[in-house]
Structure 1
Amino acid sequence: MNRQRNRGRVVAAALAAMCAVAVLPGQAHAAGPGKYAFDPAAKNVQGAETNVEASTLDEGVPYRSTIEPGQKLYYRVTLDDVSTAYVSAVAVPGDSGAVAYGDGITISLRDLDDSRCSSERANFGSGGYARPITAYAYRTPKEGGTTCQEGGQYDVLVERESKETSSPAAWDLELRFLQEPRLKSGASMPTAAPSGFPSATPEPLAGQPQERSGGAGYSEATGLETGQWKDSVAPGETRFYRVPVDWGQQIHTTARLANSPNGKTDFVGNALTLSLDNPAQGHVADTSLSYSGRPASTSLRPLPPVSYRNRFASSTQVNTMRFAGWYYLSVSLSPKLKESYGSEPIRLELAVQVKNKAEESPYEGDAGVFGVTERDKDTARKGQNQQQAAESGTMQVVAAAGIGTGAVLVLGLGVWTLLARRRAAGAPVAAGHQPPPQQGW
């Protein structure tokens, strides 16, 4: 009876897992057009206006907070004395909130004496429309360093800048604290930036683009690999994708916006923004295109291959390509297009190329989010987001458990049958069916 009950539980779990992942790639998105999808595991945290009241952020845990115009909010993290640490902030204005050129956030990491380890600013640029933007700050221990080198508590300061003409509504924040894995013991790592990198434009990809629907946030970013992908993006909406880029590999990306089916040719400047962010959600690069109802395209400038030594470069577009992992692509369409082209989505095409053979990781042990696994590559091939990949892995475990349970049940049934036959062979024979006596007894 217990075996039957356990077997039923396994089958039910397997069916539940199968149903959970029985969706097409990139189509399990709860957020509506223009809405940002926060990590479902995010914990609420309130920023403090004085650092002594700051709440602590745990490593690897996503958090959700808010910030008002002109506010300066403190959070706190605890660092060791050997790991490079990163704290990122994604600013998410309301979908109808007006923003101006220069509006944005600055995030900085500071010791308790207010000495700044590093800082980064993110703004909406000349496009001047609300969309998710991200920035990160970090602490890097180095030999001979004098600031931010000791282990202990550090302050994270997030500051919002908004013009008087901008919306006074609060912005949501998504915060994340990560620490980079330790380097292999005895490894001699370079301490200077690379002198150059291949910057030639790759040959165009052949073949027809495949449908792949983007997500509404980083946690919903849809996996992509080298290829041509098509989607739709509505005015005021941002679509998220992610691409595994390993050590030594170089990513090239082009976004193409299709012609408008309504035949209008009104000009809209900075109509589309294509952005790339690294695995710690530090901003790498972006580009934009103008639109007049005809096909238009834009490409990210050539970026260096992923390398540990990139962190020593002065250029942001080089030093942010400092580790392997999931790199995030986002495509935002200006809400200004509604005036001429309506609110219906416009067809979009993304061309993604990841070049070069993967190189060895410099880290000791598991690299976590700062590495690329075979499972990551499989996730990208299937077009899965973070949640779908996790559910798919759960289904595989449940299926394996189900197969194991089934094998045990079959073996048990075989043993039971054998024992039953032996008992039947040794049991007394029913009256009236006695065999004839044997000779010699």
Structure 2
Amino acid sequence: MGRRTAWWRTRIQGGRTPVSGAVRRVVVLAAVLCATVGLTGRPAMAAGSPGAYGYDQGDRVVAGATGTADAEELKVGGTYRSSLPKGAGVYYGLDLDPTSNAYVSVTAVPPAGTTVAATDGIKVSMQNAQGTACTHRSATFGAGRSPHPVAAWAVREAGKILCKGSGKYYVFVQRVDAADSSPDTWGLELTAVSEPSLAQAGTTSPPQDWNSASPEAVTGEARHRAGGSGFAGAVAVGQGAWRDDIAPGRTLFYKVPVDWGQQLSVTAELGATDGGSGYVTRALDLALYNPVRGSVDQAGLSYQGSERSVALDSLPPVEYRNRYSVVDHENGMRFAGSYYLVVHLDAQVADDFGQGPFPVTLRVRVAGTAHAGPGYAARPDPRNIFEVTAQDREAAAAGGAGSLGSAGSAGSTGGGGDTAMKVLAVAGIGGGSVLLATLGVWTVSARRRASTTAH
């Protein structure tokens, strides 16, 4: 753009054509158009690419720092986009009050086609200003070695001794790579959520009397419901059987509203194929994340071409007290809201059974009667993240996005981030065409007026 701008300046100011106000407006509008095309064109291409992750359109771009001194600040209630080079560890800052719990989830997004090992992934930790770690968790790609979005979360629980008090805290995201993994930089999406303290303190013991027997899967013919391409664009489903087609290497995102006192169970089925032969160890991966995008449970199935199914572990009803359990898939069921189902089909399936797509069915059961929440002393941020609203239930029945309570959903409408990107792309193309036509008319008019003035 530097040389092109200089050329325009020479043509206008070099003496042959006087600079009119109209010409100046044309030049300014041309610059605006270039910026508009840059903003709308690149995300539209990314959203349309096969297997591309659907980032939240409200994400703010932040750079990870190599040390705490330069760490950019994350705001609770916000969503962010960043990146993580191979072998790197990066810091982000966070100012916290003394009484709220804070949750930061980090989704790692490797580019399609990159090479990863089973142990590759990320480690995420929260630490105070003195460098003491509050918590740390990790996420890996697993035995399938198929690159796909994975998320890990870090927590500051206000009542814990190690991380009490207000002030500056830091989120440290570390990439874990095998020596022979690809050197590609991974994308990151981060969310920060605050959970207020309770108005009245309750018991600190986990529930002991919930029904842990494996429930029967929901039966009946599955209805088609296309999955989203990211957490922000996750498509709502409720109790029932839901079907979509998935290509090898792709990942589908759904969300299920689960209220206080309700118990979620999920079974995934991968349909049979007529072509090919072979054996894929971890063909289908089913992961469950809670409303703050914290990992709850994961299951996978092998595949030889015939129909297979796999179920998540038996999960307790959603209760505040579950956080005191030492078992991950119980501990994660600690608040009401939208629980995310993430389904990934291993890229290796294409080598043995072709490009598909392959039918995948989710059988979702939400049992139990909802009851009132634990009684927070204030509102969380985002505001409705730990609630199930009437809008959420309607979306689950119709396949919409639900309320804006879930972390990162504020930038999505209808089908989530995918729909928003399509609208943005169309608007960019249409708006660009109109601007180009207008530029042409204004340019001709400006030249005529300038010529008349010169003579």
TM-score normalised by structure 1 residue count: 0.79
* 2:71 corresponds to: 54
**How much does 1:148 deviate?**
1.1
Q: Where does 1:82-121 land on structure 2 (aligned, <5 Å)?
A: 82-121=99-138
> For 2:234 and 2:48, how far apart are their aligned partners in 1?
12
Question: Which letter maps to 1:134?
Answer: A
Question: Which letter maps to 2:68?
Answer: N
Does 1:195 pair with 2:208?
yes
Does 1:163 pair with 2:168?
no
* 1:427 corresponds to: none
Question: Which letter maps to 2:279?
Answer: F
SS in 1 for 2:232: helix
Q: Where does 1:204-243 land on structure 2 (aligned, <5 Å)?
A: 204-243=217-256
Residue 335 of structure 1 is aligned with which of 347, 352, 361?
A: 347
1:25-63 superposed Cα distances (whole Å, 9 cap, x missing partner): xxxx94432111111111110000011000001111110
1:381-420 superposed Cα distances (whole Å, 9 cap, x missing partner): 11113523599xxxxxxxxxxxxxxxxxxxxxxxxxxxxx
* 1:32 corresponds to: 49
Residue 309 of structure 2 is aligned with which of 287, 297, 321?
A: 297
* 2:413 corresponds to: 388
SS in 1 for 2:66: coil
> For 2:169 and 2:255, how far apart are their aligned partners in 1?
30
* 2:387 corresponds to: 371
Return 5+ residue gaps in structure 2 as ranges.
1-45, 402-408, 417-455
1:345-383 superposed Cα distances (whole Å, 9 cap, x missing partner): 101111000110111111246552111111111111111
Residue 182 of structure 1 is aligned with which of 197, 204, 209?
A: 197
SS in 1 for 2:161: coil
Question: Which letter maps to 2:338?
Answer: W
> For 1:211 and 1:59, how far apart are their aligned partners in 2?
36
> For 2:178 and 2:120, how far apart are their aligned partners in 1?
7
Question: Which letter maps to 1:88?
Answer: S
Aligned in 2, Cα 1:329/1:31: closer, same or farther, shift over 3 Å? farther
**How much does 1:196 deviate?**
4.7
Does 1:318 pair with 2:304?
no
> For 2:223 and 2:93, how far apart are their aligned partners in 1?
44
* 2:166 corresponds to: 151
Contact 1:31 1:216 in 2 (8 A): no
SS in 2 for 1:158: strand
TM-score normalised by structure 2 residue count: 0.76
Contact 2:271 2:358 in 1 (8 A): yes
SS in 1 for 2:138: strand
> For 1:205 and 1:339, how far apart are their aligned partners in 2?
32
SS in 2 for 1:165: coil
Contact 2:258 2:318 in 1 (8 A): yes
Does 1:172 pair with 2:197?
no
**How much does 1:206 deviate?**
3.5
Question: Which letter maps to 1:378?
Answer: E
SS in 2 for 1:127: coil
Contact 1:69 1:170 in 2 (8 A): yes
Does 1:81 pair with 2:98?
yes
SS in 1 for 2:348: helix
Question: Which letter maps to 1:345?
Answer: P
RMSD: 1.6
Contact 1:249 1:354 in 2 (8 A): yes
1:279-316 superposed Cα distances (whole Å, 9 cap, x missing partner): 00011111000111111111101011111111111111
Moved more, 58-67 or 203-212: 203-212
Question: Which letter maps to 2:316?
Answer: P
Return 5+ residue gaps in structure 1 as ranges.
1-28, 392-441
Contact 2:227 2:252 in 1 (8 A): yes
**How much does 1:231 deviate?**
0.4
SS in 1 for 2:350: helix
Q: Where does 1:125-144 land on structure 2 (aligned, <5 Å)?
A: 125-142=142-159
Residue 318 of structure 2 is aligned with which of 292, 306, 330?
A: 306
> For 1:312 and 1:201, how far apart are their aligned partners in 2?
22
**How much does 1:102 deviate?**
1.0
Aligned in 2, Cα 1:220/1:314: closer, same or farther, shift over 3 Å? same
SS in 1 for 2:322: helix
In the comparison of the two structures, how many residue pairs are matched? 358
**How much does 1:182 deviate?**
3.5
